[in-house]
């Protein structure tokens, strides 16, 4: 026990940073805590998937992927891995090179489309709209990634492109999505979950502008900002979905497609039919 208590965080010793602006040991400790949150919520959602609401696991699948990816990404960043040194201008007397963690953007490439997918399924919008939202989320993240690794002021051009993509995503979710949710009776919960998501997503451009974009705050400070946003975005949102899903009408939402396969409402499903004499069901009974 004494050995465990004496053991400290030696991630920066094993994987030393190589830039002037780097992650600190306290920052690594914070990232380990965020890693634990993601993995604990992943385990909780995984356990709930054994006996899901209405025997459907679609939201469990979506958030398990996002949570596990988040756990992996934060494990890498807490270990001081998944980064590259990017030269910075002398803004706010912060010259030299800065650790830019590309692992964070890889996580967002998975998590943000996953959130858009989950909200799209809840709203009842068409698959075309859901696919559009997923691709726009990818454009947003990739544009920010390119901006983070651009060493001249042209980075702000990519930042603007990414922010426009974010605006398109939010506009679609708050208009088309809200209208569709009203039609299927999920408007109240959809607006609450989408409003929470929109509020957090609007803070990401600010966090990026202060950190990887504008180099106004240090690496550790930026991870405190992003870590809070990421925890509120996926683990908290996943918990809200798991709690509220018990009150949703999956038949009206047309979400009965993980238990029996994708079958339209009112369609023929052999497993749903009562057993005939001799245990034979459906057409085979004839």
Instruction: Give phi and psi for 273, each to the nearest 5.
Output: -80, 145
Chain segment 222-239, per-residue pLDDT in tens: 999 999 999 999 999 999
Q: How confident is the model at residue 66 (pLDDT cuts 50, 70, 90)?
A: very high
Orientation of helix 102-123 relative to helix 176-184, angle to 10°: 40
Eight-class DSSP state of 275: P
Q: In the chain, at which residue ranges do the beta strands (DSSP E only) sit?
A: 83-87, 97-101
Distance between CA atoms of residues 205 and 11, nearest Å: 29
Write down the mean pLDDT value for the chain.
87
Sketch out the chain's domains with CATH numbers: 17-89+107-258 (1.20.1070.10)
Q: Which two tokens stand for residue 29?
A: 């400790």
Its pTM stands at 0.86
Residue 52 has pLDDT above 70, yes or no: yes
Eight-class DSSP state of 82: S
Dihedral sign, Cα of residue 243, residue 246, residue 248, residue 252: positive
């Amino acid at each position: 026990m004494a050995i465990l208590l004496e053991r400290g965080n030696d991630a920066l010793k094993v994987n030393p940073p190589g830039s002037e602006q780097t992650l600190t040991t306290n920052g690594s400790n914070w990232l380990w805590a965020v890693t634990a949150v993601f993995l604990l919520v992943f385990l909780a959602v995984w356990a709930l998937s054994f006996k899901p609401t209405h025997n459907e696991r679609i939201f469990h699948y979506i958030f398990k992927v996002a949570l596990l990816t988040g756990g992996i990404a934060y494990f890498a960043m807490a270990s001081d891995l998944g980064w590259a040194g990017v030269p910075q201008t002398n803004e706010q007397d912060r010259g030299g090179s800065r650790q830019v963690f590309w692992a964070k953007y890889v996580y967002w490439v998975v998590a943000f489309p996953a959130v858009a997918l989950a909200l799209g399924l809840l709203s009842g919008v068409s698959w075309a709209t859901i696919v559009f939202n997923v691709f726009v989320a990818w454009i947003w993240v990739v544009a920010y990634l390119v901006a983070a690794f651009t060493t001249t002021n042209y980075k702000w051009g990519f930042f603007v492109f990414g922010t426009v993509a974010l605006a398109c995503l939010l506009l679609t979710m708050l208009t088309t999505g809200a209208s569709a949710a009203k039609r299927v009776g999920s408007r109240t919960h959809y607006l609450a979950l989408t409003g929470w998501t929109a509020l957090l997503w609007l803070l990401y451009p600010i966090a990026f502008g202060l950190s990887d974009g504008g180099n106004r705050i240090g690496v550790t400070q930026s991870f405190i900002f992003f870590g809070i946003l990421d925890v509120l975005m996926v683990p908290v949102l996943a918990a809200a979905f798991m709690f509220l899903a018990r009150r949703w009408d999956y038949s009206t939402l047309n979400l009965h497609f993980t238990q029996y396969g994708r079958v339209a409402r009112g369609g023929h499903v052999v497993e749903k039919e009562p057993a005939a004499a001799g245990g034979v069901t459906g057409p085979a009974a004839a």
